[in-house]
Amino acid sequence: MLTLTNLDSFYGRSQALHDVSVTARAGTILAVLGRNGVGKTTLLRSILGLTDRQSGAIRLEGEDLAAQPTYRRAKAGIAYVPQGRMIIPDFTIRENILMGGFAAKGPRAIPEIVPKIFPYLMDNLDRPGGVLSGGQQQQLAIARALAAEPKVLLMDEPTEGIQPNIVEQIEDIIIRLNTELGLTIILVEQNVGFARRAAHDFAMLENGRVVADGAIASLTEETVTRHMAI
């Protein structure tokens, strides 16, 4: 589905990713793991063309998007749930969701699955996004991304900063998006337990390089300790 080959990515003169090659197989969840600051968020931003410069190939269903601007990558089928959610606080829930539909092939609309997985949002469409709790804002950020009708969903630490009683709900929703919609998901995650429960494959980053990857069943405690322990 989405294949990165020999990807280098830069912020100014600083190289953040080095020769990264990974594949997110169609209909699977790829967990991107590693300590803070090793390039996980940069990997997602690079897929969308949000770094200053990059080289290498980024292929979605065989089409190389590496030379395309961000909006064309979005229209090709890549949506992003960023770290920190980045909803617009003065927009209503409805407006935030519909804003994500600029990349959809049809008219902007609230996705059919949203009432099923986020009933609170549907019951409060006219509330400003800024009054929502952290967990509710994360739901809104996911709903906004789904409005783009994506083939691939990029998610950057989607349970970070969310109250503990909501974390498991968000985790279950991510799994449902994969199993019920067949969405391919690239999931940046620090929670190894959740990664093992949700993902099919993994890529471990360190210093902007892939140092281990493969089926999630092959992720050993030794690898986790070596590359994630503080």
Closest listed residue to residue 49, CA positions, set 83, 84, 73 = 73
Q: Is the pLDDT of residue 179 over 80?
A: yes
What's the pLDDT at 196? 94
pTM of the predicted model as reported, rounded to 2 decimal places: 0.91
Contacts for 175 with CB less than 8 Å, ≥ 6 apart: 29, 197, 198
**Continuous segment of H or E residues that includes residue 3:** strand 2-11
The strand pairing partners of 221, in sequence order, are none
Average pLDDT over the chain reads: 92
pLDDT digits (tens, 9 = 90+) for 124-164: 999 999 999 888 999 999 999 999 999 999 999 998 878 88
The backbone torsions φ and ψ at residue 217, rounded to the nearest 5 degrees and listed phi first, read -65, -20
Mean pLDDT for the stretch of residues 55-76 = 92
At residue 29 the predicted structure's pLDDT band, cuts being 50, 70 and 90, is very high
At residue 86 the predicted structure's pLDDT band, cuts being 50, 70 and 90, is confident
CATH of domain 2-228: 3.40.50.300
Whole-angstrom distance, CA of residue 194 vs CA of residue 59: 27
Mean pLDDT for the stretch of residues 64-70 = 92
Percent of the chain at pLDDT exceeding 70 = 100
Mean pLDDT for the stretch of residues 171-196 = 93
**Is the alpha carbon torsion for 107, 136, 199, 156 positive or negative?**
positive
Closest listed residue to residue 198, CA positions, set 28, 7, 18 = 28
Report yes or no: 163 and 135 within 8 Å, Cβ to Cβ.
Answer: yes
For residue 26, the number of C-alpha atoms closer than 13 Å in the C-beta half-sphere is 6
pLDDT digits (tens, 9 = 90+) for 110-132: 988 999 999 999 999 999 999 99
Q: Is the pLDDT of residue 61 over 80?
A: yes
Contacts for 74 with CB less than 8 Å, ≥ 6 apart: 48, 102, 103, 148
Report yes or no: 187 and 31 within 8 Å, Cβ to Cβ.
Answer: yes
Q: What is the DSSP letter of 24?
A: E
pLDDT digits (tens, 9 = 90+) for 95-110: 999 998 887 877 888 9
- Determine the straight-line distance between the first and last CA of the chain, rounded to whole angstroms: 33
Q: Is the pLDDT of residue 230 over 80?
A: no
Q: Is the pLDDT of residue 229 over 90?
A: no
What's the pLDDT at 120? 94
